[in-house]
Amino acid sequence: MIQKKFGYPQFDENGEEILSTYDNEYSDMLMDVRVYRMKENETRCFCSENEETAILLLSGRIAYNCDGINEEAYRKDVFTDGPYALHYAKKKQAEVKAISDCEFLVQRTKNDNDFETKLYTPADAPWSYSCVGKFGNVAKRRVNTIFDKDIAPWSNMVLGEVLNDRGNWSGYLPHRHPQPELYYFKFDRPEGFGASFNGDDVYKIVDNSFSAISGGNLHPQSAAPGFQLYTCWMIRHLEGDPWLQSTRNEDEAYLWLHDAQF
């Protein structure tokens, strides 16, 4: 099967939007990633025999019920409020109930480890600005890391978010790492657009599109002026080679920009 680098998924009649699976055109992500929409009072259950799971709220009010955790979470949208994400191990079942119309992302990968279930809240993953004043101040963005190898060493995944300032770049300087990464994009307006660079190819970012970045590909992206871009970034650790904050390898051709005067 030919591997693809970018996707424009659609929600089906059951409110499911499929991004990567272990056997579709994005299988080199080594993750199963899907987005769900539910109407008020609807419920979904998620359980896997051999996968860890993270359920990230994107908008609306839901109730999480898993492994003794029974908590409500509210997020107006990804541009206004910080993240809530339930993270749990294989063989555990999570129930998500829609208290209002809602949207959430489910990230899974294979993991034999057992670990304690955790509900991450906005206090656990605060936004912090990056690249302020650098590169002509057009790569300024806010970033949070919900969990990575330092926060959850038992996990085979990384989960975080980025908010580009309007018209700004992120993933800049252009960088690469050997671990596969998936970006899921949203705009603050439905007509918003931008550009995603994935290796030598460039794709138009639109609301709810995604980029499947194979290990080793450079991957910066930009938002068009006037639009704020949200990115959910998800990385799959490789066995014996986990992604770390220090793994970010900026391309040598662009390192001079660190000292450039604009």
Say if CB 120 and CB 84 are below 8 A apart: yes
For 67-193, list the strands marked E by DSSP: 69-75, 85-88, 93-98, 102-110, 118-120, 128-130, 141-147, 157-164, 169-170, 175-176, 181-187
Per-residue pLDDT, 247: 76
Which residues have a Cβ under 8 Å from the Cβ of 14 and sit 6 or more positions away?
Answer: none
User: Could you give the angle at the alpha carbon of 89 between the alpha carbons of 85 and 92, nearest 5°?
Assistant: 95
| One pLDDT digit (tens) per residue for the chain, 262 residues | 899 999 999 999 999 999 999 999 999 999 999 999 999 999 999 999 999 999 999 999 999 999 999 999 999 999 999 999 999 999 999 999 999 999 999 999 999 999 999 999 999 999 999 999 999 999 999 999 999 999 999 999 999 999 999 999 999 999 999 999 999 999 999 999 999 999 999 999 999 999 999 999 999 999 999 999 999 999 999 999 999 998 778 999 999 999 998 8
151-196 residue pLDDT tens: 999 999 999 999 999 999 999 999 999 999 999 999 999 999 999 9
Maximum Cα–Cα distance across the chain: 55
pTM over 0.95, yes/no: yes
14-242+249-259 placed in CATH 3.40.50.300: no
Q: Residues with Cβ < 8 Å from 165, sequence gap 6 or more?
A: 140, 141, 142, 228
The reported pLDDT for the residue numbered 261 is 87
Instruction: State the pLDDT at residue 114.
Output: 97
The reported pLDDT for the residue numbered 41 is 98
Helix, strand or coil for residue 135?
helix
- Residue spans of the domains in the chain: they are 14-242+249-259
